Amino acid sequence: MKRYEKMSRLYAPTLKEDPVEAELASHRLLLRAGMIRKTAAGLYSYLPLAWRSIRKIEAVIRDEMEAIGAQEMMVPILTPAELWHESGRWDAYGPELMRISDRHDRAFALGPTHEETFTDLVKNELRSYKQLPCTLYQIQDKFRDEMRPRFGLMRGREFIMKDAYSFSATQESLQEVYEDQKAAYARVAERCGIRALPVVADSGQIGGDTSVEFMALADAGEAELVWCDCGFAADVEAASTSVPVTEGPGDGTLQKVHTPGLGSIEDVAAFFGFPENGTRKSLALVAEDGTRVVAIVPGDHELNDIKASHLFGAYHLMSDEELEEAGLFKGFIGPVGLPEGIRLVCDESLRQSTSWTCGANEVDYHFTGACPGRDFTVDEWADLVSVREGDPCPHCGAPLKSARGIEISQVFQLGTKYSEAMGATFADENGVERPFLMGCYGIGVSRTLAAVVEQHNDEHGISWPVCVAPYEVEVVPLAVGDDVVTPVAERVVEELSAADLEVLLDDRKERPGVKFADADLIGIPYQVILGKRGVANGVAEVKVRETGERFEVPLDEVASWLSERVVPARA
């Protein structure tokens, strides 16, 4: 039988007002519901309600890890600097690595992740290919001195992570372990009540992915995504697709047109009565090495900053002075008749287009009908655009949808990066020493909790899915200490507990309004409301937090009525 908890003694200090520092729903509501408290910037305490949910998330993870044969263990949070020197990350990690020294001045880091520790751990003891593959994991606090810790549990400086490391003898084996972890991660998200998309973070040379991030869909997410019902999902920064382009106006011959004061794509498109997509957007920039570049994309798309950085290094858009020095005119830049020494880089999607509407490199003039090869020479065709909503899916061609996402977990094929650097080898079938093929797999446990709240809340508070709710049922007697409702509430709580349900009893002497508000704020999935009249008639009112539906349930059926709904919804 599960023990129930009484609200009168529960450490869950709820707040009436929204905390000013909280911008995100999850941050605000976890604070208000008395579930977390800030200890210092990026450091949060989990109060009893939040901790119960955290433990449920961990239980789901443990269950899924056990199902694929990963073994739980624990290594120290403190990691000696020597290991980080071996991998080369002591210097590479930068200021995010929290470094401390002991009384003998020996340096350590508080682990932000544990590739080094695990690689070092197995390196002299996993000796033979016969012992492989082997996957080890732990659930532990991690430390990262984030530049901008914020949004409560979302980006902390200390946070809970499940981190797994796999050691394989062959690429095929690594691939299998990786696919198992990836599938388990999808199930973890689903069982925690999170709608998440697997986003390819890295593709291998032979197709297939070597790293995937699971993104919980939420408006508050930091990542901008495009996705499709066919299963495709990508970060807009990384997505590539062929953007459809329309040809500009005119008969295909080069025409210079007077466009006084029309320096924006919007104005030019309106002037010609053409969609923005039929125009060409020219951006003048200076590459890291000082080269002047004009980059051209379809008029209705943006130059993608990440893609541009790959091509041009730490580039910047030209200032007014730099434009003048280069002989370019803001709003009227184009590919035809560019001044000497400017490199022309155009987006791949424009390669087949033969009639461009673009700036004429002369104030107040545009060209129509500009044709690459005939009227100007392109130095390089490259993938430059940010893919956006409505562009065709690169897999199936259907219009892409856009969304924002929170990265809750990531799976990664590391290959031999750490095993080679740290000399971690095993003997293969022929007795030849080879470096392990490794994978690493991380789930942000505390961030997952925040992501659940981002996806499950309304104007009244949190609305926990049963699978990770701190309690499953809250019993709300509207009169406390009287001889009608109180004994009934006690009996109902006993029956619910006997039915193995997790129960919170609001036994406080508070007004009904206060109790209802707190119940909705804390967001236990089912509320059993016991009023004088109902009890006199032998019924309880059961409110479903998520939908607001209310049911009248005979008192002696409350336990079975709830069991039927709660038990199947458990993770």
Residues 430-459 that bind ligand ATP (CB under 6 A): 442, 444, 446-447
Nearest to 238 by CA among 137, 310, 134, 136: 310
Indicate the residue whose CB is closest to ligand ATP.
Answer: 444
In sequence order, the 6+-apart residues with CB closer than 8 A to the CB of 220 are 24, 25, 26, 151, 404, 406, 454
What is the smallest separation between the CB atom of 163 and ligand ATP, expressed in angstroms? 7
Q: Is 181 in the site for Mg ion (CB under 5 A)?
A: no
Length of the chain: 571
Q: Is 159 in the site for ligand ATP (CB under 6 A)?
A: yes
Residue range at the interface with ligand ATP (CB under 6 A); choices 152-160, 300-308, 338-346, 529-537: 152-160
Read off the tokens for 541.
Answer: 């009112």
Q: Is 409 in the site for ligand ATP (CB under 6 A)?
A: yes
Spatial distance between the Cα atoms of 140 and 445, rounded to a whole number of angstroms: 9
What is the smallest separation between the CB atom of 440 and ligand ATP, expressed in angstroms? 9
The residue within the footprint of ligand ATP, chosen from 180, 407, 502, 506 (CB under 6 A), is: 407
Residues 90-149 that bind ligand ATP (CB under 6 A): 113, 144, 146
Spatial distance between the Cα atoms of 140 and 155, rounded to a whole number of angstroms: 16
Which residue lies nearer to Mg ion by CB, 404 or 565?
404
What is the smallest separation between the CB atom of 192 and ligand ATP, expressed in angstroms? 12
What is the smallest separation between the CB atom of 157 and ligand ATP, expressed in angstroms? 7
Residue range at the interface with ligand ATP (CB under 6 A); choices 28-36, 77-85, 151-159, 550-558: 151-159
Which residue lies nearer to ligand ATP by CB, 161 or 505?
161
Q: Is 410 in the site for Mg ion (CB under 5 A)?
A: yes
Alpha helices in 361-511 (DSSP H): 417-421, 445-455, 485-498
Q: Please state the three-class secondary structure of 117-179 as a single string.
A: HHHHHHCCCCCEHHHCCEEEEEEEEEECCCCCCECHHHECCEEEEEEEEEEECCHHHHHHHHH
Alpha-carbon distances, residue 292 vs 31, 56, 323, 366 (angstroms): 51, 56, 10, 21
Residue range at the interface with Mg ion (CB under 5 A); choices 87-95, 118-126, 350-358, 408-416: 408-416
Contact criterion met (CB below 8 Å) for 227 and 197: yes
Which residue lies nearer to ligand ATP by CB, 33 or 449?
449
Which long-range contacts link 79-82 to residues 24+ away (Cβ below 8 Å)?
79/108, 79/109, 79/110, 79/111, 79/114, 79/116, 79/117, 80/106, 80/107, 80/108, 81/106, 81/107, 81/108, 81/109
What is the smallest separation between the CB atom of 31 and ligand ATP, expressed in angstroms? 16
Which residue lies nearer to Mg ion by CB, 410 or 527?
410
Contact partner, 349, from Mg ion, ligand ATP, none, Cβ < 5-8 Å per class: none
Note the residues at the interface with Mg ion (CB under 5 A): 410
Note the residues at the interface with ligand ATP (CB under 6 A): 113, 144, 146, 155-156, 159, 161, 407-410, 442, 444, 446-447
